[in-house]
Amino acid sequence: MPIEDLMWGLHDRSPCHYNPEVEPFDRDASAKIQLTVVAMKSSEAVPDQPKGSLRPDCLTSFNLNCLVLFATLYQEKNVSRAAKLLKISQPAVSNGLAKLRVQFQDVLFSRANNQMTPTPLVDEIAELLMPLLVGVQHLLTRHRPET
């Protein structure tokens, strides 16, 4: 199943929801996010949260389609190709990236030599995210009703 089959609702040109109370590139918030990524990577519990517990408030305040946008941009390293795969406009990908930058308090990707170069935080996020999206893709493909 292509990655674009995981997309729902990105055609409204506002693919990502973020918390407007968070100021862009707040170094303290960035450090907390990086600690959370490290904790998740090492299979430890996130602070103040039991291991394996779900926080619906966190998930419902963020458009999970943004994670597919992130993954596609990570794979393609090009906004135009990512937009084509996701079947959305190039400005929609750029807008989504801007919102992801605010959410993660990091530049995430920088343009260099006609390519989007990921920051170290992107590589850490992708290491966790890509297997999850592949698992969701497998789950959706496996349990898709026959048409």
**Percentage of residues of the chain with pLDDT beyond 70:** 64
In this predicted structure, the answer to whether residue 78 has a pLDDT above a threshold of 60 is yes
Look at 27 and 55; give whichever has higher pLDDT: 55
- The pair of three-digit structure tokens given for residue 111, joined into one six-digit string: 């343009």
**Residue 50: what pLDDT?**
65
pLDDT-based confidence at residue 30 (cuts at 50, 70, 90): very low
In this predicted structure, the answer to whether residue 11 has a pLDDT above a threshold of 80 is no
Instruction: Write out pLDDT tens, residues 51-73.
Output: 677 888 877 888 889 999 999 99
Pick from 89, 127, 125: which is nearest to 109 by CA? 125
**Residue 130: what pLDDT?**
95
- The pair of three-digit structure tokens given for residue 29, joined into one six-digit string: 């918030």
| pTM of the predicted model over 0.85 | no
Query: What's the average model confidence in pLDDT over 64-91?
Result: 95
Look at 119 and 55; give whichever has higher pLDDT: 119
Pick from 97, 104, 105: which is nearest to 78 by CA? 97
